[in-house]
């Protein structure tokens, strides 16, 4: 897949303990993004943060480390991101969803570097 130029970034903030049908919510979001054919998704676990509840969650205090912030970042075309948003309405009861315009400078997967066939190593390797 080629992704370059002006695209959209979808950033989703949820809690680590948020669930969808007994599994982590972030896992469901990533798997749905994959099935929807979105370019890629990354889950980042925060070490400290707070949201609408104003309760600080941190790895520094054992009692507050049980529901750390999780951020899911997805980048794709404006049309594909817009098409995916209704799924988040179904999944997210608490959290924050942000969409912003970004510029992709380079998007290359393993084995797909310019000048190489998919699954082959670049010259010299």
Query: Half-sphere exposure of 20 toward its Cβ, with a 13 Å CA cutoff?
Result: 19
The answer to whether residue 91 is domain-embedded is yes
Query: Half-sphere exposure of 26 toward its Cβ, with a 13 Å CA cutoff?
Result: 22
- Average pLDDT in the chain: 85
For residue 113, the model assigns a pLDDT of: 53
The answer to whether residue 19 is domain-embedded is yes
Instruction: Count structural domains, the chain.
Output: 1
For residue 96, the model assigns a pLDDT of: 95
The answer to whether residue 22 is domain-embedded is yes
The answer to whether residue 114 is domain-embedded is no
The answer to whether residue 9 is domain-embedded is yes
> Is-contact 119 112, C-beta < 8 A?
no
Backbone torsions φ then ψ of 124, nearest 5 degrees: 90, 0
The answer to whether residue 93 is domain-embedded is yes
* Other Cβ atoms within 10 Å of 113 Cβ, number: 13
> Is-contact 110 40, C-beta < 8 A?
no
Domain span at 88: 5-104
3-class secondary-structure state, position 34:
helix
Query: Half-sphere exposure of 53 toward its Cβ, with a 13 Å CA cutoff?
Result: 11
Q: How far is it, in rounded angstroms, from Cα 14 to Cα 27?
A: 12
For residue 120, the model assigns a pLDDT of: 42
pLDDT bucket at 119, cuts 50 / 70 / 90: very low
Q: What is the pLDDT of residues 37-57, one digit of tens each?
A: 999 999 999 888 777 777 777
Q: What is the pLDDT of residues 89-111, one digit of tens each?
A: 999 999 999 999 999 998 888 77
What's the angle, vertex CA 45, arms to CA 10 and CA 97, rounded to 5? Answer: 25
Residue in this structure with the two tokens 């469901």, named with its chain if needed: 28
CATH value at residue 59: 3.30.70.120
Which of 27-31, 60-64, 86-90, 116-120 has the lowest average pLDDT? 116-120
The answer to whether residue 69 is domain-embedded is yes
Choose between 124 and 18: higher pLDDT: 18
pLDDT bucket at 62, cuts 50 / 70 / 90: low
The answer to whether residue 123 is domain-embedded is no
């Amino acid at each position: 897949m080629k992704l370059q130029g002006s695209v959209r970034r979808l950033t989703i903030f949820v809690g680590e303990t948020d669930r969808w049908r007994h599994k982590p919510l972030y896992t469901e979001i990533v798997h749905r993004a994959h099935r929807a054919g979105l370019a890629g998704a990354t889950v980042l676990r925060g070490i400290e943060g707070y949201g609408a509840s104003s309760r600080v969650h941190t790895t520094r205090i054992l009692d507050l480390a049980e529901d750390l912030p999780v951020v899911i970042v997805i980048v794709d075309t404006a049309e594909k991101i817009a098409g995916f948003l209704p799924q988040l309405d179904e999944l997210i009861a608490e959290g924050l969803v942000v969409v912003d315009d970004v510029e992709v400078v380079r998007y290359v997967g393993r084995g797909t570097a310019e000048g190489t066939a998919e699954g082959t190593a670049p010259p010299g390797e």
